[in-house]
Structures are given as C-alpha cells and as structure tokens.
Homo-oligomer: A and B are copies of this chain.
Amino acid sequence: MTPSPISIDSSPSDTGQALAQAETLCQERGVRLTDLRRRVLEIIWSHSKPMGAYAILDVLRDDGRQGAPPTVYRALDFLLEQGLIHRLASLNVYAGCCQPDSRHGGQFLICRDCGQVNEMNSPAVENLLGAEAAARRFEVLTQMVEVLGRCPDCQRGTLSDVG
C-alpha cells in the first residue's frame, strides 16, 4: 500500500511504474518502445545505482539476447531523446528519470561513498540558473547539475560502499 518511507533502492514497484509511464508517454508521442528499449529501461530502473553502458550490455547478454555496444547505445539514445533516462556525465552512467513527462537536464545528488543517486530537480535552482545565464545574455538550452557528496545514510554509520 503505502510506499516504504525510506527507499534507498529502486523497488520492483518503482520499476513497474516507470515502465508503465514510459509506455504511456511513448504511445502519446507516437514513438516505439520496443522490447529492447523497454528491457534496457527496466535494467536501469531495477538496479540500485546508475549503470554504465557496458554493464547494461552484460545484463542483456545474461538475458541470452544478442548484442554489441551499438545495441545498447542506440537504445540509450532513444531513451535519452524521450527523456526517460539521464546521462550522468561525471560518471559515464545512465539513470532513470523520475519525471519523464517534463523535459529537463536533471539535477543530481551523487553519493561518493555508496554510489546512490537522487534526482532533485528543484525549480528554484533551475530558475536561478536561468536568470544568471540570462543576465549574461546566454540562451539556455539544457542545464546539467551534478552535486557530489555523501548521502544521509553514508553520513550516519560508516556503512560506506554498500555495493
């Protein structure tokens, strides 16, 4: 019923919800969420930490599916275009987007110790960044914000590196 109050991990239900919403969005937009693309999105969501392209490829191969790097990169390109995932440039990893219905670059809190990533998407930050850019006569297309630090859990115990 009620979602667990502290969700460190992407639970199966999170994954399910994300997939369902992706399905809906793709239908609305008239684009095809193929088996491969859906599976890549599922792999990303069902892991606790954002994944690199080659880690995703490994899972696909464990599935028994054929594939080479272009296979996964093309799926990632599609998911990125549709705003269903983000790329964290500082880590070369890909993470599911929590609000795929509204386009945004993404603001992320990345834990140095356990690797967890939290998508912030503070409108205040977005607006201020836009204002500062505008003050410099700069036309904004996309914003990328990545904050590296320590998550609440890793501050508490030193249960670092939970894998």
Contact = CB atoms under 8 A, between A and B. Distances in A.
Given A122-B132, A128-B124, A132-B120, A149 B155 contact: no
A89 interface: yes
Interface residues of A, number: 32
A132 B125 contact: yes
Given A145-B144, A146-B89, A137 B125 contact: no
Nearest to A146: B144
Interface string A23-60: 00000000000000000000000000000000000000
Contacts of A109: 133, 136, 138
A138 B149 contact: yes
Contacts of A120: 132-133, 136
B125 A149 contact: no
Interface in A130-144: 132-133, 136-144
6 contacts: A90-B144, A125-B128, A125-B129, A138-B152, A141-B149, A144-B146
